[in-house]
């Protein structure tokens, strides 16, 4: 490379960075949470660029934005992370006047338990934890307790997530899934240890193939992931356990650090449009918190009882809540004991 070409390329690179002064919005979302057209359409309509990246766990996201200068504008925390992130002063207070499409939210999400006035977040997608199972089993697992029976020897898995395993065990004990009571947690731990010899493994999404293949007969699983597995295999079914189960929702939030507030508001409002939200729900097979969008979905999806359980089923559900430090610590200790048992 001679000097002239080098200088030209430097000039070119410098120009490339400033060209057009198009605003750039930085969006950090869960994997598989927008339709293929969502981002390009937004870029076209609002004449901007979107830097879009995904994360696989809420902790990963939190660790990255905790510094307060992560460079992200819009993020999608789970319901139990909204309050903590607000307490850490990471979230921008939402101005409802700029979110004209907010009224499209489903009634169930107008005043959610984790942020009733929707001051910090806008509910986006929701689901629940239950049991996905093979129809070939002799007795259908309709309760968590069924996953403790010998007939599933080495053919059952639980999620590799302490909150989910404790939730199932605590519901078996008729305790809140968010319990911090040392006695209840100890009993829950004992239940989990008792189940461990029966377990094939603690697996998250990756169990999906094994349930479809028939290696695993029953698995603790998120309803939305189970629905995708069921789309691929007619031999699968899903149950919302009798003892009760965990509910969760992911939410749209604008970070306090955001330097593109205007564009961020436009983006949130854009995601709240019925047609945009519906396209995402259809593409990704997720359950949208947008009631107006749901109404426009094809009937099979709108009335899908796994994505949108009936009210009497939902009554058994309980939202994950943030845990105080000591409870979190005790749970981690018991989780390590379960894993080491």
Partner 1 sequence: MKHLRAAFLAPGVAVMAILFFAPLLIVLAYSLLTRGAYGGVVPPWTGESYARVFDPLYGEILYRSVWIAGVSTALCLALGFPLALYIARAARHKGLLLNLVMLPFWTSFLIRTYAWMFLLRDTGLINSMLLSLHVIREPLPLLFNTGAVILGLVYGYLPFMVLPLYATLEKLDPYLLDAAADLGAAPFVTVWRVVVPLAKPGMVAGCLLVFIPCLGAYLTPDLMGGGKTVMAGNLVQNQFTTARDWPFGAAVSLVLMVLVLVVTRALMRRTEELL
Binding residues for partner 1 (CB under 8 A): 57, 59-60, 62-63, 66, 84-85, 87-88, 154, 157, 160-163, 196, 199-203, 206, 210, 213-215, 322, 324-325, 328-329, 332-333, 335-337, 339-340
Report, in Å, the least distance between residue 136 CB and partner 1.
14
Report, in Å, the least distance between residue 55 CB and partner 1.
11
Specify the residue, 104 or 210, whose C-beta has the smaller distance to partner 1.
210
Specify the residue, 95 or 206, whose C-beta has the smaller distance to partner 1.
206
Closest of 180, 182, 141, 179 to residue 158, by C-alpha: 141
Report, in Å, the least distance between residue 176 CB and partner 1.
19
Q: Burial letters for 251-267: b for 16+ Cβ neighbours within 10 Å, e otherwise?
A: bbbbbbbbebeebbbbb
User: Within 10 Å of residue 315's Cβ, how many Cβ atoms?
Assistant: 10
The angle, 0 to 180 degrees and rounded to 10, between the axes of the packed helices 38-46 and 261-271 is 130
Specify the residue, 7 or 341, whose C-beta has the smaller distance to partner 1.
341
Report, in Å, the least distance between residue 256 CB and partner 1.
15
Specify the residue, 46 or 55, whose C-beta has the smaller distance to partner 1.
55
Calpha distance 125→123 (Å, rounded): 6
Report, in Å, the least distance between residue 269 CB and partner 1.
29
Calpha distance 142→130 (Å, rounded): 9
Specify the residue, 74 or 212, whose C-beta has the smaller distance to partner 1.
212
Report, in Å, the least distance between residue 235 CB and partner 1.
13
Specify the residue, 257 or 283, whose C-beta has the smaller distance to partner 1.
257
Calpha distance 219→254 (Å, rounded): 35
């Amino acid at each position: 490379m001679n000097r002239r070409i080098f200088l030209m390329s430097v000039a070119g690179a410098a120009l490339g960075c400033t060209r057009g002064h198009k605003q750039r919005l930085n969006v950090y979302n869960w994997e598989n949470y927008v339709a293929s057209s969502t981002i390009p359409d937004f870029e076209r309509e609002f004449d901007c660029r979107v830097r879009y990246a995904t994360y696989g766990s809420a902790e990963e996201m939190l660790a990255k934005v905790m510094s307060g200068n992560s460079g992200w504008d819009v993020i999608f925390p789970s319901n139990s992370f909204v309050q903590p992130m607000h307490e850490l002063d990471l979230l921008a207070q939402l101005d409802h006047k700029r979110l004209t499409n907010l009224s499209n939210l489903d009634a169930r999400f107008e005043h959610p338990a984790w942020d009733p006035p929707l001051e910090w977040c806008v509910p986006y997608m929701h689901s629940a934890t239950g049991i996905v199972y093979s129809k070939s089993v002799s007795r259908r697992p309709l309760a968590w307790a069924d996953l403790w029976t010998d007939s599933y020897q080495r053919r059952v898995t639980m999620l590799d997530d302490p909150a989910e395993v404790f939730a199932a065990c605590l519901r078996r004990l008729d305790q809140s899934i968010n319990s911090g009571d040392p006695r209840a947690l100890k009993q829950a731990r004992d239940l989990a240890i008792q189940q461990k010899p029966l377990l094939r493994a603690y697996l998250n999404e990756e169990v999906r193939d094994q349930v479809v293949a028939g290696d695993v007969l029953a698995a603790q699983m998120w309803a939305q992931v189970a629905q995708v597995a069921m789309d691929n295999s007619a031999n699968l079914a899903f149950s919302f356990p009798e003892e009760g189960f965990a509910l969760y929702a992911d939410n749209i939030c604008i970070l306090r650090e955001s330097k593109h507030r205007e564009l961020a508001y436009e983006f949130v409002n854009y995601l709240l449009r019925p047609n945009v939200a519906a396209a995402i729900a259809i593409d990704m097979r997720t359950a949208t918190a947008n009631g107006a969008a749901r109404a426009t979905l094809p009937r099979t999806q709108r009335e899908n009882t796994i994505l949108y359980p009936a009210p009497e089923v939902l009554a058994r559900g309980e939202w994950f809540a943030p845990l105080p430090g000591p409870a979190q610590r005790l749970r981690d200790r018991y989780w390590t004991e379960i894993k080491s048992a």
